[in-house]
Amino acid sequence: VTCSMDKVIRIFVVVLSLSFLLKTSAICDNRNGAIEHLISMFERQSQADFLRSSAKKQPRHNLPTDEILRSEGYPAEIHYAVTDDGYILTLHRIPHGKSNRDESGRPVVFLQHGLLSSSADWVISTPSKGLGYLLAEAGYDVWLGNYRGNTYSRNHTFFDPDDQTGGFWDFTWDEMARYDIPAEIEKVLEVTGAADLQFIGHSMGSTGFLAMHHYRKDIAEKIKLAHLLAPIAYTEHMESPISWIAGLGPYLNTILSWFGIGEFLPSSLLLDCWASLFCHGFTQGICSNIIFIMCGYDEPQMNSTLLPTIMHHTPAGASTHTFLHYAQEILSGKFEGYDWGSDKENFNHHGPNGIPTYSLQDVQTPVALYWGQNDWLSSSEDLLRLTSELPNIVPGMLEIVAFPGFNHLDFLWAIDADRYVYQPLLHNMREVEKQD
């Protein structure tokens, strides 16, 4: 995909303007270096350099999830779940492994991705590193979910996702907790005939799972063990630029409008343009900063050859309200539903009882937690509060990654994710299956 000059100029203006506003309001001092590095790299290239750089290195995979799986020799199925509020969600299934092809008696595991992500994130690494493959080879029937609004779930029974103000994008992870995860799990259990399953949620996948207990305890009872990677409930101490959004004040509406009133950072031509421009040659560092600016960056664990592929699949789309929901929690210090700004809108979304507060005491599901020490989104203070309130963390299953620089996205793509995270995760999964 080649970027036209006007797209390049628009990207430059957005990034430079954002840096200027944040810098002048003195709220970016703690992460100023990352922003300044990005801007300086932009400034060192002329517009002609941008155009010449569009002759990009091809990503390892620029395919949809099911085709990625088949290209690696794995079986792939596509299924659809319709939520109670009309969203049509795509689920990808790996019914068995490439080497381990026995389909009989496989326990079921369901994986839910995080913010701006998709089912592809579990399988864009090589089969020796990607969690989706490792689970299939370990004997599991693997299901990969897709939240509303991402690349694979841009469908509704009547709303149009291309209409930014038509209603499709009026959601946050509150709706994902209330509707998406229950609909996906019900579909998985319906197709497989299983009575229960194990759950793996990364980032916003964990947020939605925890909040789901406020709405659907019947679904929670079908989870044998929930594995929460980089878990997020409270966000008061979050170091991510989402915390900058929370403090933008008068700049907030202007900045968010640059990224879309309805959809935030869509996985479309803009993202393909960034991948074409930045993920090759000496500009590799820019690519790292763009994709990791929200979540932190761990260079020693980053597989640089995977960056072009990551940029083609992530960000995969989300609503602007979803980001604002996390930002509201930074200010409130609570784990609660989204404030839509008026009594009428809050009634439309939450009903007569108003904005819900999610009590972690409701989470009676057995839980295993996995956390990295360099996580900008899941701070140590917020994790401590989470662990102190969760009533059913399985003894011995609070896993703190030994590598000190391990960050939010390393759970998906780190060079040693298999050693630091997936090996203990698979061990914990086996322990639960032994009890059946």
d(CA 398, CA 327): 27
DSSP state of 47: H
d(CA 299, CA 302): 5
Residues 6+ apart with CB under 8 A from 205: 111, 112, 113, 114, 145, 228, 229
Distances (CA, A) of 3 to 49, 64, 376: 12, 22, 31
Distances (CA, A) of 360 to 181, 203, 230, 249, 392: 17, 16, 17, 30, 10
**Residues 92, 96, 99, CA angle at the centre, nearest 5°?**
130
Distances (CA, A) of 419 to 131, 138, 306, 403, 422: 11, 15, 18, 10, 6
> Which one from 61, 312, 321, 408 is the annotated catalytic residue?
408
Report CA 302 to chain centroid distance, whole Å. Answer: 17
Catalytic residue check, 267: no
d(CA 412, CA 131): 8
Backbone angles phi, psi at 264, to 5 degrees: -105, 125
Backbone angles phi, psi at 91, to 5 degrees: -120, 140
> Which one from 119, 203, 276, 319 is the annotated catalytic residue?
203
d(CA 355, CA 350): 6
Catalytic residue check, 378: no
Residues tagged active-site? 203, 408
